[in-house]
Amino acid sequence: MTSSANQMWGGRFAAGPDAIMEAINASIGFDQRMARQDIDGSRAHAAMLAATGIITDKDAEAIREGLLTVLSEIEAGTFQFSTALEDIHMNVEARLKEIIGEPAGRLHTGRSRNDQVATDFRLWVRDQVDASITGIRALMVALLGQAEAGADWVMPGFTHLQTAQPVTWGHHMMAYVEMLSRDLSRMEDARRRMNYSPLGAAALAGTSFPIDREMTAKALGFDGPMSNSLDAVADRDFALEFLAAASICAMHLSRLAEELVIWSSAQFRFVRLSDRFSTGSSIMPQKKNPDAAELIRAKIGRIFGANVALMTVMKGLPLTYSKDMQEDKEQVFDAADNLMLALAAMEGMVKDMEANRDSLRHAAASGFSTATDLADWLVRVLGMPFRDAHHVTGSLVALAEGEGVDLPDLTLAQMQSVHGQITEDVYNVLSVEASVASRMSYGGTAPDQVRTQVARWKEILA
Ligand code: ARG
């Protein structure tokens, strides 16, 4: 094929492309992933050409049948993809011609590969947005399950990865439900904006044929046709929005993954990950490694990388189509595949993991985690200004640290040696259970607040 002129535009060419030209130019190696979208788009286009009288019903029927045959060949894996035919659009059309002959040549009336690829890619990305929404919801449901079971399990809350205040397991799980809900709504927003059809923009200027863009838009599930033909073939912001939303979601997943890595370590023992989502070591028999969590933690690298790559490809491109834009796909494909994988793996891990309630509680009760409760008691009961209470509490923490005990283990006499007015009542606020139960402010960590949020989300996700 390299020596003869191209059958799609050969009219103007005396010789075929150099082998290197063919190699750099071809996208069929990857854009064959859009075969179904390409055929859907062509079917919608052909039906519209017939409905508007631009081609005959007979030709449209032949095209429709032929395209279905092509699709079944591709799905069966028997289709012979050709690099010489460059991309999925020309591969499909060439095969269609082999199958149905002359009418195949009428399919491309009033259309260009520019609006064709913009349409195919939009449809493909839209499918991925839908799959992301499904995956995010499933993970939210898994987290809700953990939150419901452990609404009152006490664990340390951290800042700077230092024990800060006791919180509940359920509250911690629900923090991720909230983050994921925003990821989900970012996907929904992106979907709303991308759901307009470029088809019929033709090469860039529209077409002189009396096409019906509303009809093709509707057939493909779009909310309508895009209103500017130059914009329709030139922009890839829909893919960038998907990548941006995917990047933020992957960032969230990486944080949960990191916590699972830390929590499953022998030093923390907060969770036991299931065998199904762990691996062993070939040399150290005792090991159980959180590989899935580590890999999820790493996925943000390639997903955000794709976002940066596509933004960089698009930056500074003059309107409208430039072949640069063929470089828009592979990274998006890779990012989408890896986001789905990360979501599914995280869902599995979260569903399976078992929190170690004893370790959680033990860790929560150490590190002077109820120091803030003590300071609040001094304010509430003794009427001290918070700054003074903070100072007194600091002295009590120093005393306990010196004695090698935790705050509730100090005797009343020891407490009174720091501040004479402290009474027995203070011990009521020093337990971690009392601490979390008192955090009843809206959105706080009290088990009742957590249960309210779990119930709210269960209803939303039902
Ligand atoms: N394979 C091309 C791409 O992915 C299709 C569009 C080609 N258009 C053109 N004017 N050469 O961008």
Give tens-digit pLDDT for 273-299: 998 888 887 777 777 899 999 999 999
Q: What is the pLDDT of residue 2?
A: 43
Has residue 189 got a pLDDT over 50?
A: yes
* Residue of 3, 160, 208, 441 marked catalytic: 160
Question: Which two tokens mark 126?
Answer: 């839209």
Q: Would you say 461 and 140 are in contact if contact means Cβ atoms under 8 Å apart?
A: yes
Residue 302 CA to residue 110 CA, distance in Å, equals 38
CA of 231 to the centre of ligand 1 (A): 15
Phi and psi torsions of 167, nearest 5°: -130, 180
Quickly state the pLDDT bin for 18 (edges 50, 70, 90). confident
Has residue 115 got a pLDDT over 80?
A: yes
Q: Would you say 438 and 373 are in contact if contact means Cβ atoms under 8 Å apart?
A: yes
Q: What is the pLDDT of residue 111?
A: 97
Give tens-digit pLDDT for 254-277: 999 999 999 999 999 999 999 888
Does the annotation mark 181 as catalytic? no
Q: What percent of the chain has pLDDT over 90?
A: 91
Has residue 5 got a pLDDT over 70?
A: no
Ligand 1 environment, Cβ below 6 A: 27, 31, 87, 113-114, 117, 321, 323, 325-326
Q: Would you mind telling me the total number of residues written for the chain in this entry?
A: 462
Give tens-digit pLDDT for 213-270: 999 999 999 999 999 999 999 999 999 999 999 999 999 999 999 999 999 999 999 9
Residues 74-96, mean pLDDT to the nearest whole number:
97
Q: What is the pLDDT of residue 12?
A: 79
Give tens-digit pLDDT for 380-436: 999 999 999 999 999 999 999 999 999 999 999 999 999 999 999 999 999 999 999
290-322 burial: b if 16+ Cβ within 10 Å, else e:
bebbeebbebbebbbebbebbeebbeeeeebbe
Residue 27 CA to residue 40 CA, distance in Å, equals 19
pTM of the model: 0.93
Residues 3-30, mean pLDDT to the nearest whole number:
82
* Residue of 227, 265, 281, 395 marked catalytic: 281
